[in-house]
Every structure is written in C-alpha cells, then in structure tokens.
Amino acid sequence: MKKAFSALALVLALCLALAGCHISTPDTVGTVGETEITSGLYLLAQFDAYQQAAQLAGTDQDYNDVKSFLKETITLDEETGETALVSDYVAEKTMETLRFYAAVEERFEELGGELTEAQTAQADAYAQQLLDNYGTIYTANGIGLESLKLYERNLVKSAALLDLVYGPEGETPVSDADLLAHLDEMLYTCYISVPLYDSSTFAFADEDQTAQMLTLAEEAAAGYTGSSAADFQAAVTDTVSEMYAVLGGEYTPTAADFATGFLLDSDLETSFTEEAADTVRGLEVGQAAAVEYSSYAILLLVRLDPLDTLTLDQLRGDILSDLCSETLQNDLTAQGEALADGLDAGVMAKLPAKKITMG
C-alpha cells in the first residue's frame, strides 16, 4: 500500500510538472469593453506609467530601484501640493492608458474606420524602430514587437478619428467657415533658430554676447517688409551670419535651416518665456520678431498667411487637430471610463509593477 501510494504521488507530481511546462503568462489579461488587452500591451502601459512616475521623482529618490521607488510618494502638482504613492499612481495611469486604448479601438470600429495598408505599414515601421532603439529594455520588461505594433496602430487610429468625427464626411463635421475662423487664430510661421553657443566648441554665449545677438535679430525683424517665406529667408540671412560671428563662428546658409509650419500654444507654453510667448502671439501676418527660445537659442520668425501657399483641404488636418483634439480626447477618456472592466485581477497579479526593470 505504501509503495502504491508512493507511485501515485510520483505520477501526480509528474503530471503537475508536465502541466507546469505549459503554464505561462496568459496571452491576455482580459478585456476593457469589447477590446482584448494582451499581456504585452498591459506590460507596455504599466512600463509607460512607471516612466511617467519616474519623471516626477524627487532629487533624493532613485527610480531605478523599482521596488523601493514604488513605496515612495511623488508630488504631482507643485502649486497645489498634490501627492500620490508611486504604486497607486502607476496602477491608475496604467488603467487610464488601457481604457483610452479601448475607447479608441471601439470608436474607430463604430465609425467604420479602417487603416490603409500605408497607415499600417507606417505604424509597424515605428514599432520596429522603437524595438531597434530600445529593444533591450522592452524585452527585459516582457514587451515585444507585436505589443508595440498594437500600440502604434492605436495611435494612428486615434489621429484618424479626428477626420472620422469632424471631417467633411464625419459624424459631426466642422464647417469650412468655422475652420477658417480658427485658422485666423493659429500661428503659421517661417523661422530660423540661431544657437546661443559656438557649435564647434559648445561654449555658451555670455550675457553681453546674448544681448548683442538679440539686438541684431530684433533690428532685422523690425526692418522686415517682405510677404513670403522666401522673402524672409533672403532678408535675415546676413543677420544670421552676423549673429554667428558674435561667437566667432561662421554660418553657411542652406534652405533647410528655415522651417515653415504652425507654432502651437503647447510650444509657446513649454519652450518660451511668458514675455516671448506674448510677443509671438501678438504678431500680425507679415510681421517678424526675434525672441529667446529656451536658454539655448534665439528664434527669428515671421507670421505668414498659410492660404497664400496652401489650400483649406491641405490645412484641414492641422486645423482640426488644433481645434478639436482636446474635445475628442476628453470624449474618448469619458467613453473609456464608462467601458466595462473585464480584466482578470489574477493574471494582472502575475505581472506586478515591482518586476519592472529600468536597465
């Protein structure tokens, strides 16, 4: 009997061992609404949430020590003093990302959206590029190419929703009149950035040199009388050469040095001083200005009328993005929050944030 019991125990142990060979992290952690959330996508969302927390780490906090940092408290808003436990913050941001992802997927399908072959190829190429550049850290955190493809394709769908919702054939189209009215408020510029350092020695301009370079730029802007990007380039090229000379450098003009496009409010708020941002916002079409751009460069720019060189249809995407992106994002966030939570807590427990590695 004892031998029989031992044999039975051995068989059971062997069966469990063999079963164990096939037990691994499930392919999915469940669903949000009708959208399947793969384990890799969950890990990607969690890793991104941890990186967001790491950006808020205090000078005395080591986010590379993941287990320890998860127990720390971070400040979310310096003005209000709002704080959060890192582990709670990561869990919350992970769910926000997954809910938004699911909302995009479901809204895109509801509106009959389909990615073109070109859109899919572009998204997949970006995913491959991410893996090529950060493959070691992604792989260490259980994130593979397929998860990155899902994420990148979702981003493309999110962008495409602007047209599906607000475009000419969209669910709630924005009229051309409203687009033109908003275009008048947008800043379309031609600009060149002149570094406040010697590009060969990387020695930064001192206070006097910065003032001298800014004066040269301001004089050029004040004297500008042209009406096109080409006029602006021709008018300020000599001034740019003089600005480089202040630091002992030489400037070799190329058309690529000048960029043309929209300056968004987010650009002005993050990269300009309040005074510089107000100067740029106050420009009329045809007016030029010179402002310090961060602490590393002086920006010489002119405001242009985009309709001089582009059609409304060509500008529609940019205008819709500036006019409707925030509303669309808020709507998708609300839709995501309303979706049923079909995530498996048991599976997610096998993918804890404490297993994140930062390198």
pLDDT 10s digits, 296-346 = 999 999 999 999 999 999 999 999 999 999 999 999 999 999 999 999 999
What's the one-letter identity of residue 291?
Answer: V
pTM for the predicted model, two decimal places? 0.84
CA angle 314, 319, 322 (to 5 degrees): 145
* Total residues belonging to the chain: 359
Domain definitions of the chain by residue range: 23-173+329-355, 181-308
CA dist., res. 144 & res. 312, Å (int): 41
Mean pLDDT of 204-229: 96
* For residue 51, pLDDT beyond 70: yes
pLDDT at 202: 85
| Rounded mean pLDDT, 207-221 | 97
The residue ranking higher by pLDDT, 267 or 16, is 267
d(CA 211, CA 315): 37
**Alpha carbon distances (Å) from 98 to 30, 49, 104, 108:** 11, 11, 10, 15
CA distance 183 to 316: 9
C-alpha count within 13 angstroms, C-beta hemisphere, residue 344 = 14
Give the burial class of 237: count Cβ atoms within 10 A of its Cβ; 0-12 exposed, 13-18 middle, 19 or more buried. Answer: middle
Residue 14 confidence (pLDDT): 40
